[in-house]
Amino acid sequence: MSAPLKIKPLAESVVNKIAAGEIIVAPVNALKEMMENSIDAGATTIDILVKEGGLKILQITDNGSGIDKSDLPILCQRFTTSKLKTFEDLSSIQTYGFRGEALASISHIARVTVTTKTKNEACAWKVSYSAGKMMGEPKPIAGRDGTIILVEDLFYNVQSRLRSLRSPSDELAKILDCVGRYAINSKNVGFSCKKFGESQFALTVRNEADVRERVQAVFGRGTASNLIELEVPEIQGLGASASGQVSTLNFINKKSISPIFFINNRLVTCDPLRRALYQTYSSHLAKGNRPFIYLNVTIRPELVDVNVHPTKREVRFLHDEEIIEQIASQLADVLSNCDTSRSFKTTS
């Protein structure tokens, strides 16, 4: 029998790199965190630049509040945030961020440069970060109100991760999908996304666009012209409601877009909800034909647990079965109306 190995604490830098790898699995995770920060900062335009699927360059420019110069020294330190104060605040949190981990994580696995200007400053301040720490003093430069975060050489020090993400075009596709989904759900926010070195945008959405224009900008006219509204009014006693756009029965989904679900404005995958809504469609649609579904479910914040997954991809909420059943039943009503109006049209 061998002697037990000695238990020793991990070096802080190792802990931080491990934590970073859980939050930032691929460039799209870094992008999502930064887009959320921009929206939290009240931005109405978010411009994204991507080189090599975000592995070489991922840059987000927003016109939000900017960051106070005095906050720059701890910006990329772990667990520093302007959003959450007490654990209890988590139950009523209205912002996307709350953990103060995103920028810290990114700075442990990439080179981060921040340029930011608040409206009270005469100029912008620019500074770089590495492993949570500010590198030198912020330098004054010309710039507009808002923040530019430049992330370079993502995973440069995590070779195993870099090897597992071989295709920049796959990573770009994930980024465009994520930007598109946020663009659809973020009223009053304009988005653009461009591949480095190209003059054409891969995606643009105006900040004034309504939800249908957003769907059109992201998924094309074919999808946008076959939508009906799905509104689920406040469900009695459950503190939940939902609203969104779903495809009519005339829609043929060639691209099979997975459902776009937001819960309290957080992009989530919710398999029970997806199954229930696909089931509702299945009696109306030809076999193998998938609907388009965009739904933002609003649930009283105290009934939702947002802190169940490092990438915040999953949330848990109370009364999930009843809420999902109500949404599916509302969808069934909307579809049967649309079915009768369709057969009416063809028989008349």
What is the C-alpha radius of gyration for the chain, rounded to an integer number of angstroms? Answer: 22
Please state whether 239 falls in left (phi above 0), alpha (psi between -120 and 50) or beta.
left
Q: Which of 29, 31, 33, 53 binds ligand ADP (CB under 6 A)?
A: 33
Q: Is residue 113 at the binding interface for ligand ADP, with CB under 6 A as the rule?
A: no
Choose which of 44, 81, 207, 307 interacts with ligand ADP (CB under 6 A): 81
The binder of 189, among Mg ion, ligand ADP, none, by C-beta within 5 to 8 A per type, is none
Of the candidate spans 16-24, 36-44, 210-218, 233-241, the one that interacts with Mg ion by CB under 5 A turns out to be 36-44
102 scored as a contact of Mg ion (CB under 5 A): yes
Q: Determine the residue with CB nearest ligand ADP.
A: 97
Q: Which residue is nearest to Mg ion (CB)?
A: 97
Q: Round to whole Å and give the CA distance between 238 and 320.
A: 9
Cβ 154 vs Cβ 30: under 8 Å? yes
Residues in the chain, how many?
A: 348
CB of 62 to ligand ADP, least distance (A): 5
- Lookup: tokens for 210: 């309504």
CB distance 192 to 204 below 8 Å: yes
Q: Is 97 in the site for Mg ion (CB under 5 A)?
A: yes
Buried b (16+ CB within 10 A) or exposed e, 104-140: bbbbbbbbbebbbbbeeeeebbbbbbebbebeeebee
Q: Which stretch binds Mg ion (CB under 5 A): 48-56, 90-98, 105-113, 140-148?
A: 90-98
Does the footprint of ligand ADP cover residue 100 (CB under 6 A)?
yes
- Is residue 323 close enough to count as binding ligand ADP by CB under 6 A? no
Residues near ligand ADP (CB under 6 A) are 33, 37-38, 41, 62, 64-67, 75, 81-83, 97-104, 147
